[in-house]
Amino acid sequence: MKQLYIKQKVFSMAGKFTVKDQNEQDVYYVEGSWMKFPKTFSIMDTQMNEVGLITKKTFSFLPTFFVEAEGQETVTIKKQFTFLKSAYSIDAAGIEVRGNWWDMNFDVTQNGEVIGTVDKQWFTWGDSYQIQIMKEEMETLIVALVVAIDCAKADQAASSSAASM
């Protein structure tokens, strides 16, 4: 089992995350586009090679993200319309995200088997996540899921606050 940590930079306009391992060594860099349509997040390894790309669909009723890993589109993530808790449908080979109703902690499963767990860290400056990877070959995909769901939640919060003004 491998443990990773994502720390979002609070004052970054583009959306920057550093993914570190349990020894606080950089593993991935995630950088979002700023003022660009469609919005994208690029996942790069320590040699700055792109290993994943997340693209937000520009015009959709609910947030939709396309995830590419290793140059191939592997997953489509769509936020579902629900009343009490956030839910996401994932179009991929047996992959599902199951979270509590606060949607701050969730498991990633493949064909019913937990392949990763994500826990939001409380009382931190910016959003921070602890990720446990049970299937290392799914590592890039799980990091991409965390980034895409975090972006969907941020979009929802922004639209909720804009609607209340």
- Provide the CA 14 distance to its chain's centre, in angstroms: 15
Alpha-helical segments (H) within the chain: 139-163
- One-letter amino acid at 58 equals T
| pTM of the predicted model as reported, rounded to 2 decimal places | 0.81
**Which position has the token pair 């969907």?**
152
CATH number of 2-160: 2.40.160.200
- Provide the CA 37 distance to its chain's centre, in angstroms: 19
pLDDT per residue of the chain (165 residues) written in tens, 0 to 9: 899 998 776 545 557 778 999 999 999 998 888 777 788 889 999 999 999 898 988 777 777 888 887 777 678 888 777 776 666 777 776 788 888 745 678 898 988 899 999 998 876 666 788 999 999 888 988 888 888 777 777 766 666 665 555
